[in-house]
Structure 1
Amino acid sequence: MTASADSRRFDEIFAGAPLMAILRGMGVERSARLATTAWDLGIDSVEVPLQTEEDDRALREVVRIGAERGKAVGAGTILTVAQVDAAVAAGAAYLVSPGLDPEIVRAAAERGIPILPGVATPSEVGQAVALGLTWLKAFPAQWLGAHWFAHIRGPFPQVKFVATGGMDAGNAGEFLAAGVTVVAVGSALENEAQLPRLAALLQSTP
Protein backbone atom coordinates (compact mmCIF):
# COMPACT_ATOMS: atom_id res chain seq x y z
CA MET A 1 0.00 0.00 0.00
CA THR A 2 1.40 3.41 -0.94
CA ALA A 3 1.54 6.30 1.51
CA SER A 4 -1.17 8.18 -0.38
CA ALA A 5 -3.43 5.12 -0.39
CA ASP A 6 -2.75 4.67 3.34
CA SER A 7 -3.83 8.25 4.00
CA ARG A 8 -6.96 7.96 1.87
CA ARG A 9 -7.98 4.79 3.68
CA PHE A 10 -7.74 6.47 7.08
CA ASP A 11 -9.63 9.46 5.71
CA GLU A 12 -12.43 7.00 4.91
CA ILE A 13 -12.20 5.05 8.17
CA PHE A 14 -12.44 8.15 10.35
CA ALA A 15 -14.76 10.21 8.15
CA GLY A 16 -17.89 9.40 10.12
CA ALA A 17 -16.97 10.45 13.67
CA PRO A 18 -14.17 12.15 15.63
CA LEU A 19 -14.10 9.30 18.16
CA MET A 20 -12.84 5.74 18.05
CA ALA A 21 -13.09 2.92 20.59
CA ILE A 22 -10.24 0.83 22.00
CA LEU A 23 -11.24 -2.51 23.52
CA ARG A 24 -8.14 -3.67 25.38
CA GLY A 25 -8.08 -7.08 27.08
CA MET A 26 -11.85 -7.34 27.35
CA GLY A 27 -12.37 -10.88 26.12
CA VAL A 28 -14.65 -12.02 23.32
CA GLU A 29 -18.11 -11.36 24.78
CA ARG A 30 -17.28 -8.04 26.42
CA SER A 31 -15.45 -6.82 23.31
CA ALA A 32 -18.44 -7.70 21.14
CA ARG A 33 -20.82 -5.96 23.52
CA LEU A 34 -18.78 -2.77 23.77
CA ALA A 35 -18.14 -2.68 20.05
CA THR A 36 -21.89 -2.78 19.55
CA THR A 37 -22.30 0.00 22.15
CA ALA A 38 -19.77 2.10 20.23
CA TRP A 39 -21.45 1.55 16.88
CA ASP A 40 -24.92 2.26 18.30
CA LEU A 41 -23.55 5.47 19.80
CA GLY A 42 -22.21 6.60 16.43
CA ILE A 43 -18.53 5.68 16.87
CA ASP A 44 -17.69 3.94 13.60
CA SER A 45 -14.18 2.66 14.24
CA VAL A 46 -13.20 0.07 16.85
CA GLU A 47 -9.70 -1.18 17.69
CA VAL A 48 -8.92 -4.45 19.44
CA PRO A 49 -5.32 -4.60 20.76
CA LEU A 50 -3.54 -7.91 20.12
CA GLN A 51 -1.60 -9.12 23.16
CA THR A 52 -2.99 -12.60 23.93
CA GLU A 53 -4.67 -15.51 22.16
CA GLU A 54 -7.95 -14.36 23.68
CA ASP A 55 -7.41 -10.96 22.04
CA ASP A 56 -7.03 -12.69 18.68
CA ARG A 57 -10.36 -14.44 19.21
CA ALA A 58 -11.95 -11.16 20.28
CA LEU A 59 -10.62 -9.40 17.20
CA ARG A 60 -12.03 -12.09 14.91
CA GLU A 61 -15.45 -11.84 16.56
CA VAL A 62 -15.56 -8.05 16.44
CA VAL A 63 -14.44 -8.15 12.79
CA ARG A 64 -17.27 -10.60 12.10
CA ILE A 65 -20.02 -8.52 13.65
CA GLY A 66 -18.49 -5.33 12.29
CA ALA A 67 -18.70 -6.71 8.76
CA GLU A 68 -22.46 -7.13 9.24
CA ARG A 69 -22.67 -3.39 9.90
CA GLY A 70 -20.07 -2.33 7.35
CA LYS A 71 -17.71 -1.11 10.10
CA ALA A 72 -13.90 -1.06 10.01
CA VAL A 73 -12.15 -2.87 12.86
CA GLY A 74 -8.47 -2.31 13.62
CA ALA A 75 -5.84 -4.35 15.45
CA GLY A 76 -3.75 -2.51 18.03
CA THR A 77 -0.53 -2.88 20.01
CA ILE A 78 1.26 -4.15 16.91
CA LEU A 79 4.92 -4.61 17.86
CA THR A 80 6.16 -7.36 15.54
CA VAL A 81 5.86 -8.44 11.92
CA ALA A 82 4.24 -11.66 13.18
CA GLN A 83 1.48 -9.56 14.74
CA VAL A 84 1.01 -7.76 11.43
CA ASP A 85 0.37 -11.12 9.79
CA ALA A 86 -1.92 -12.25 12.63
CA ALA A 87 -3.98 -9.06 12.32
CA VAL A 88 -4.29 -9.44 8.56
CA ALA A 89 -5.33 -13.08 9.00
CA ALA A 90 -8.00 -12.04 11.51
CA GLY A 91 -9.48 -9.57 9.04
CA ALA A 92 -8.34 -6.27 10.55
CA ALA A 93 -8.88 -3.22 8.33
CA TYR A 94 -5.97 -1.27 9.82
CA LEU A 95 -3.15 -1.53 12.36
CA VAL A 96 -2.19 0.60 15.35
CA SER A 97 1.21 0.63 17.09
CA PRO A 98 2.21 2.27 20.38
CA GLY A 99 5.45 3.53 18.82
CA LEU A 100 7.10 4.21 15.48
CA ASP A 101 9.01 1.23 14.04
CA PRO A 102 9.99 1.61 10.35
CA GLU A 103 10.14 -2.18 9.98
CA ILE A 104 6.52 -2.52 11.09
CA VAL A 105 5.49 0.37 8.83
CA ARG A 106 7.16 -1.34 5.86
CA ALA A 107 5.62 -4.71 6.72
CA ALA A 108 2.16 -3.15 6.80
CA ALA A 109 2.76 -1.44 3.44
CA GLU A 110 3.94 -4.71 1.89
CA ARG A 111 0.75 -6.41 3.04
CA GLY A 112 -1.49 -3.61 1.84
CA ILE A 113 -2.89 -2.61 5.24
CA PRO A 114 -2.76 0.96 6.62
CA ILE A 115 -0.98 1.57 9.91
CA LEU A 116 -1.31 4.20 12.60
CA PRO A 117 2.03 4.33 14.47
CA GLY A 118 2.44 6.07 17.82
CA VAL A 119 4.47 9.25 18.26
CA ALA A 120 5.19 11.57 21.18
CA THR A 121 7.92 13.96 19.98
CA PRO A 122 8.55 16.29 17.02
CA SER A 123 11.42 14.01 15.95
CA GLU A 124 9.12 11.00 15.78
CA VAL A 125 6.51 12.99 13.87
CA GLY A 126 9.21 14.10 11.43
CA GLN A 127 10.42 10.52 10.97
CA ALA A 128 6.87 9.33 10.31
CA VAL A 129 6.33 12.09 7.76
CA ALA A 130 9.60 11.07 6.07
CA LEU A 131 8.15 7.55 5.79
CA GLY A 132 5.20 9.05 3.94
CA LEU A 133 2.66 8.86 6.76
CA THR A 134 0.10 11.58 7.42
CA TRP A 135 -2.13 9.84 10.01
CA LEU A 136 -0.43 9.25 13.38
CA LYS A 137 -1.38 8.12 16.87
CA ALA A 138 -0.29 10.54 19.60
CA PHE A 139 0.42 8.52 22.72
CA PRO A 140 0.09 9.00 25.64
CA ALA A 141 -2.14 11.95 24.80
CA GLN A 142 -3.13 12.80 28.37
CA TRP A 143 0.54 13.14 29.28
CA LEU A 144 1.30 15.20 26.16
CA GLY A 145 -1.59 17.56 26.89
CA ALA A 146 -3.93 19.33 24.49
CA HIS A 147 -1.52 22.23 23.95
CA TRP A 148 1.04 19.85 22.42
CA PHE A 149 -1.21 19.41 19.41
CA ALA A 150 -1.74 23.13 18.94
CA HIS A 151 2.05 23.60 18.81
CA ILE A 152 2.87 20.56 16.64
CA ARG A 153 0.45 21.65 13.92
CA GLY A 154 2.78 24.56 13.14
CA PRO A 155 5.65 22.57 11.59
CA PHE A 156 3.43 19.63 10.58
CA PRO A 157 0.13 21.07 9.29
CA GLN A 158 -0.49 18.04 7.05
CA VAL A 159 -0.50 15.49 9.89
CA LYS A 160 -3.77 14.18 11.32
CA PHE A 161 -3.59 12.92 14.89
CA VAL A 162 -5.54 10.30 16.79
CA ALA A 163 -5.18 11.11 20.50
CA THR A 164 -4.88 7.96 22.62
CA GLY A 165 -4.27 7.41 26.32
CA GLY A 166 -6.37 8.81 29.16
CA MET A 167 -9.16 10.09 26.93
CA ASP A 168 -12.81 10.22 27.95
CA ALA A 169 -15.91 12.41 27.66
CA GLY A 170 -14.39 14.88 30.11
CA ASN A 171 -11.36 15.88 28.04
CA ALA A 172 -12.13 14.74 24.47
CA GLY A 173 -13.63 18.09 23.51
CA GLU A 174 -10.53 19.99 24.63
CA PHE A 175 -8.28 17.81 22.48
CA LEU A 176 -10.52 18.08 19.44
CA ALA A 177 -10.55 21.86 19.84
CA ALA A 178 -6.73 21.82 19.92
CA GLY A 179 -6.57 20.25 16.48
CA VAL A 180 -6.81 16.50 17.14
CA THR A 181 -8.73 14.77 14.34
CA VAL A 182 -9.88 11.74 16.35
CA VAL A 183 -9.98 10.92 20.07
CA ALA A 184 -9.80 7.28 21.18
CA VAL A 185 -11.82 6.19 24.23
CA GLY A 186 -11.95 2.87 26.03
CA SER A 187 -13.45 2.26 29.46
CA ALA A 188 -15.67 5.32 29.01
CA LEU A 189 -17.95 3.08 26.94
CA GLU A 190 -18.82 1.14 30.09
CA ASN A 191 -19.62 4.26 32.09
CA GLU A 192 -23.34 5.01 31.85
CA ALA A 193 -22.69 8.61 32.89
CA GLN A 194 -20.27 9.14 30.02
CA LEU A 195 -22.36 7.69 27.19
CA PRO A 196 -24.71 10.67 26.80
CA ARG A 197 -21.75 13.04 26.98
CA LEU A 198 -19.97 11.10 24.24
CA ALA A 199 -23.15 11.14 22.16
CA ALA A 200 -23.46 14.89 22.63
CA LEU A 201 -19.85 15.33 21.57
CA LEU A 202 -20.49 13.35 18.39
CA GLN A 203 -23.55 15.45 17.61
CA SER A 204 -21.77 18.75 18.20
CA THR A 205 -18.72 17.98 16.08
CA PRO A 206 -19.05 18.70 12.36
Structure 2
Amino acid sequence: MSAAAACDTVFEDLFAGRPLMAIFRGLGVERSLELAVTAWDLGIEVVELPIQSAEDVDALAAVVEAGRARGARVGAGTVVTVDQVEVAASAGAAFAVSPGLDAAVVRACLDAGLPPLPGVATPSEVMAAMGLGLTWLKAFPASVLGTGWFRAMRGPFPDVRFVATGGLDAGNAAEFLAAGVRVVAVGSALEDPAQLPALARLLDR
Protein backbone atom coordinates (compact mmCIF):
# COMPACT_ATOMS: atom_id res chain seq x y z
CA MET A 1 0.00 0.00 0.00
CA SER A 2 1.32 3.45 -0.94
CA ALA A 3 1.80 6.15 1.68
CA ALA A 4 -1.09 8.15 0.20
CA ALA A 5 -3.40 5.14 0.22
CA ALA A 6 -2.45 4.45 3.83
CA CYS A 7 -3.37 8.04 4.69
CA ASP A 8 -6.76 7.63 3.04
CA THR A 9 -7.33 4.62 5.27
CA VAL A 10 -6.47 6.75 8.31
CA PHE A 11 -9.03 9.40 7.33
CA GLU A 12 -11.69 6.79 6.60
CA ASP A 13 -11.22 5.52 10.14
CA LEU A 14 -10.86 8.98 11.67
CA PHE A 15 -14.07 10.34 10.19
CA ALA A 16 -16.16 7.15 10.13
CA GLY A 17 -19.58 8.16 11.40
CA ARG A 18 -18.23 11.55 12.47
CA PRO A 19 -19.76 14.38 10.41
CA LEU A 20 -18.25 17.21 12.49
CA MET A 21 -14.71 18.37 13.25
CA ALA A 22 -13.76 21.19 15.63
CA ILE A 23 -11.19 23.90 14.84
CA PHE A 24 -9.75 26.16 17.54
CA ARG A 25 -7.53 28.93 16.19
CA GLY A 26 -5.21 31.10 18.26
CA LEU A 27 -6.99 30.60 21.59
CA GLY A 28 -4.03 29.71 23.78
CA VAL A 29 -3.48 26.60 25.83
CA GLU A 30 -6.16 26.99 28.50
CA ARG A 31 -9.04 28.05 26.24
CA SER A 32 -8.12 25.45 23.61
CA LEU A 33 -8.23 22.74 26.24
CA GLU A 34 -11.59 23.98 27.55
CA LEU A 35 -13.18 23.99 24.11
CA ALA A 36 -11.63 20.66 23.15
CA VAL A 37 -13.32 19.14 26.20
CA THR A 38 -16.58 20.82 25.17
CA ALA A 39 -16.25 19.27 21.71
CA TRP A 40 -15.39 15.82 23.04
CA ASP A 41 -18.19 15.89 25.60
CA LEU A 42 -20.62 16.84 22.83
CA GLY A 43 -19.43 13.92 20.71
CA ILE A 44 -17.12 15.73 18.29
CA GLU A 45 -14.10 13.48 18.52
CA VAL A 46 -11.81 15.08 15.93
CA VAL A 47 -10.14 18.41 16.75
CA GLU A 48 -7.77 20.59 14.73
CA LEU A 49 -5.54 23.37 16.06
CA PRO A 50 -3.85 25.68 13.55
CA ILE A 51 -0.18 26.30 14.31
CA GLN A 52 0.71 29.88 13.40
CA SER A 53 2.71 30.81 16.52
CA ALA A 54 4.78 29.22 19.26
CA GLU A 55 1.79 29.51 21.59
CA ASP A 56 -0.32 27.64 19.04
CA VAL A 57 2.20 24.79 19.05
CA ASP A 58 2.06 24.66 22.85
CA ALA A 59 -1.74 24.53 22.66
CA LEU A 60 -1.57 21.74 20.08
CA ALA A 61 0.75 19.67 22.25
CA ALA A 62 -1.48 20.17 25.29
CA VAL A 63 -4.67 19.20 23.45
CA VAL A 64 -2.92 16.21 21.86
CA GLU A 65 -1.98 15.00 25.34
CA ALA A 66 -5.50 15.54 26.68
CA GLY A 67 -6.98 13.83 23.65
CA ARG A 68 -4.71 10.83 24.04
CA ALA A 69 -6.22 10.17 27.46
CA ARG A 70 -9.68 10.07 25.86
CA GLY A 71 -8.74 8.21 22.71
CA ALA A 72 -9.36 11.35 20.63
CA ARG A 73 -7.08 12.33 17.79
CA VAL A 74 -5.93 15.90 17.22
CA GLY A 75 -4.60 17.42 14.02
CA ALA A 76 -2.44 20.43 13.20
CA GLY A 77 -3.92 23.10 10.96
CA THR A 78 -2.66 25.87 8.68
CA VAL A 79 0.40 23.78 7.82
CA VAL A 80 1.81 25.75 4.91
CA THR A 81 5.54 24.92 4.97
CA VAL A 82 7.70 21.82 5.09
CA ASP A 83 9.19 23.03 8.39
CA GLN A 84 5.72 23.16 9.94
CA VAL A 85 5.20 19.51 9.03
CA GLU A 86 8.07 18.59 11.35
CA VAL A 87 6.68 20.87 14.07
CA ALA A 88 3.25 19.27 13.79
CA ALA A 89 4.68 15.77 13.93
CA SER A 90 6.85 16.62 16.93
CA ALA A 91 3.81 17.99 18.78
CA GLY A 92 2.05 14.66 18.28
CA ALA A 93 -0.48 15.69 15.64
CA ALA A 94 -2.44 12.83 14.07
CA PHE A 95 -2.85 14.62 10.73
CA ALA A 96 -1.99 17.92 9.02
CA VAL A 97 -4.44 20.33 7.41
CA SER A 98 -3.48 23.04 4.92
CA PRO A 99 -5.52 25.91 3.47
CA GLY A 100 -4.22 25.17 -0.02
CA LEU A 101 -2.46 22.52 -2.06
CA ASP A 102 1.35 22.45 -2.02
CA ALA A 103 2.93 19.28 -3.39
CA ALA A 104 6.09 19.75 -1.31
CA VAL A 105 4.07 19.99 1.90
CA VAL A 106 2.00 16.94 0.93
CA ARG A 107 5.14 14.91 0.23
CA ALA A 108 6.75 16.03 3.50
CA CYS A 109 3.62 14.90 5.35
CA LEU A 110 3.67 11.52 3.62
CA ASP A 111 7.38 11.10 4.41
CA ALA A 112 6.66 11.94 8.07
CA GLY A 113 3.75 9.51 8.26
CA LEU A 114 1.41 12.45 8.89
CA PRO A 115 -1.78 12.16 6.79
CA PRO A 116 -2.21 15.39 4.81
CA LEU A 117 -5.53 17.14 4.23
CA PRO A 118 -4.74 19.91 1.74
CA GLY A 119 -7.19 22.61 0.79
CA VAL A 120 -8.75 22.89 -2.67
CA ALA A 121 -11.21 25.27 -4.28
CA THR A 122 -11.11 24.38 -8.00
CA PRO A 123 -11.41 21.25 -10.16
CA SER A 124 -7.77 21.70 -11.20
CA GLU A 125 -6.64 21.60 -7.57
CA VAL A 126 -8.76 18.51 -6.94
CA MET A 127 -7.12 16.81 -9.92
CA ALA A 128 -3.65 17.83 -8.73
CA ALA A 129 -4.36 16.39 -5.28
CA MET A 130 -5.63 13.18 -6.82
CA GLY A 131 -2.44 13.05 -8.86
CA LEU A 132 -0.58 12.92 -5.53
CA GLY A 133 -2.70 9.95 -4.52
CA LEU A 134 -5.09 11.80 -2.19
CA THR A 135 -8.85 11.37 -2.06
CA TRP A 136 -9.62 13.12 1.25
CA LEU A 137 -9.46 16.88 0.71
CA LYS A 138 -10.36 20.05 2.55
CA ALA A 139 -12.59 22.47 0.62
CA PHE A 140 -11.88 26.06 1.63
CA PRO A 141 -13.49 28.53 2.02
CA ALA A 142 -16.61 26.39 2.05
CA SER A 143 -19.14 29.14 2.79
CA VAL A 144 -17.85 31.10 -0.21
CA LEU A 145 -17.80 28.06 -2.48
CA GLY A 146 -21.38 27.23 -1.46
CA THR A 147 -23.29 23.97 -1.44
CA GLY A 148 -23.66 24.03 -5.22
CA TRP A 149 -19.90 23.64 -5.62
CA PHE A 150 -19.95 20.36 -3.72
CA ARG A 151 -22.87 19.02 -5.73
CA ALA A 152 -21.06 19.91 -8.94
CA MET A 153 -17.85 18.20 -7.80
CA ARG A 154 -19.67 14.91 -7.14
CA GLY A 155 -20.07 14.36 -10.87
CA PRO A 156 -16.44 14.36 -12.06
CA PHE A 157 -14.95 13.35 -8.69
CA PRO A 158 -17.24 10.71 -7.12
CA ASP A 159 -14.39 9.16 -5.11
CA VAL A 160 -13.22 12.38 -3.44
CA ARG A 161 -14.31 12.99 0.15
CA PHE A 162 -14.53 16.62 1.17
CA VAL A 163 -14.06 18.21 4.59
CA ALA A 164 -15.77 21.60 4.36
CA THR A 165 -14.06 24.39 6.28
CA GLY A 166 -14.62 28.13 6.56
CA GLY A 167 -17.71 30.04 7.69
CA LEU A 168 -19.70 27.02 8.86
CA ASP A 169 -21.77 26.63 12.02
CA ALA A 170 -24.90 24.94 13.34
CA GLY A 171 -27.04 27.09 11.06
CA ASN A 172 -25.64 25.88 7.75
CA ALA A 173 -23.75 22.65 8.49
CA ALA A 174 -26.72 20.42 7.63
CA GLU A 175 -27.00 21.99 4.17
CA PHE A 176 -23.40 21.13 3.38
CA LEU A 177 -23.75 17.58 4.65
CA ALA A 178 -26.83 17.19 2.45
CA ALA A 179 -24.79 18.42 -0.52
CA GLY A 180 -22.42 15.49 -0.14
CA VAL A 181 -19.79 16.88 2.23
CA ARG A 182 -18.41 14.10 4.44
CA VAL A 183 -17.29 16.32 7.33
CA VAL A 184 -18.11 19.89 8.35
CA ALA A 185 -15.55 21.80 10.42
CA VAL A 186 -16.86 24.26 13.01
CA GLY A 187 -15.03 26.59 15.34
CA SER A 188 -16.71 29.56 17.00
CA ALA A 189 -19.99 27.62 17.06
CA LEU A 190 -18.61 25.66 19.99
CA GLU A 191 -18.21 28.89 21.96
CA ASP A 192 -21.91 29.64 21.54
CA PRO A 193 -24.05 27.64 24.01
CA ALA A 194 -27.11 28.30 21.83
CA GLN A 195 -25.59 26.31 18.96
CA LEU A 196 -24.58 23.23 20.96
CA PRO A 197 -27.99 21.47 20.84
CA ALA A 198 -28.14 21.86 17.04
CA LEU A 199 -24.61 20.50 16.69
CA ALA A 200 -25.54 17.56 18.90
CA ARG A 201 -28.50 16.80 16.61
CA LEU A 202 -26.16 16.71 13.60
CA LEU A 203 -24.10 14.07 15.37
CA ASP A 204 -27.22 11.90 15.71
CA ARG A 205 -28.02 11.97 11.98
TM-score of the superposed pair, with normalisation by structure 2? 0.98
2:179 matched to which residue of 1? 178
1:100 matched to which residue of 2? 101
Residue 3 of structure 1: CA displacement?
1.3
1:129 matched to which residue of 2? 130
Q: Within 2, Cα distance between the matches of 1:11 and 1:44?
A: 14
What residue identity is the alignment partner of 1:70? G
1:22 matched to which residue of 2? 23
Q: Within 1, Cα distance between the matches of 2:113 and 2:68?
A: 19
Residue 114 of structure 1: CA displacement?
0.2
Identical aligned residues as a percent: 65
2:60 matched to which residue of 1? 59
Gaps of at least 5 residues in structure 1 are: none
Gaps of at least 5 residues in structure 2 are: none
What residue identity is the alignment partner of 1:113? L
SS state at 2:47 partner: strand
1:120 matched to which residue of 2? 121
Matches within 5 A, 1:123-202: 123-202=124-203
2:14 matched to which residue of 1? 13
Q: Within 2, Cα distance between the matches of 1:12 and 1:58?
A: 25
2:41 matched to which residue of 1? 40
Question: Deviation digits for residues 47-97 of structure 1, max 9, x if unmatched?
Answer: 000000100000000000000000110000001111000000000000000
Q: Within 1, Cα distance between the matches of 2:171 and 2:193?
A: 13
Q: Within 1, Cα distance between the matches of 2:173 and 2:5?
A: 28
Residue 2 of structure 1: CA displacement?
1.0
Residue 173 of structure 1: CA displacement?
0.2
How big is the alpha-carbon RMSD for the aligned residues of Structure 1 and Structure 2?
A: 0.7
Q: Within 2, Cα distance between the matches of 1:168 and 1:89?
A: 31
Residue 16 of structure 1: CA displacement?
3.8
Say if 1:16 and 1:44, in contact at 8 Å, map to a contact too.
no
Question: Deviation digits for residues 89-118 of structure 1, max 9, x if unmatched?
Answer: 000000000000000000001111101000
Residue 34 of structure 1: CA displacement?
0.4
Which contiguous aligned blocks of 4+ residues in structure 1 show a shift greater than 6 angstroms?
A: none
TM-score of the superposed pair, with normalisation by structure 1? 0.98
Q: Within 1, Cα distance between the matches of 2:16 and 2:35?
A: 21
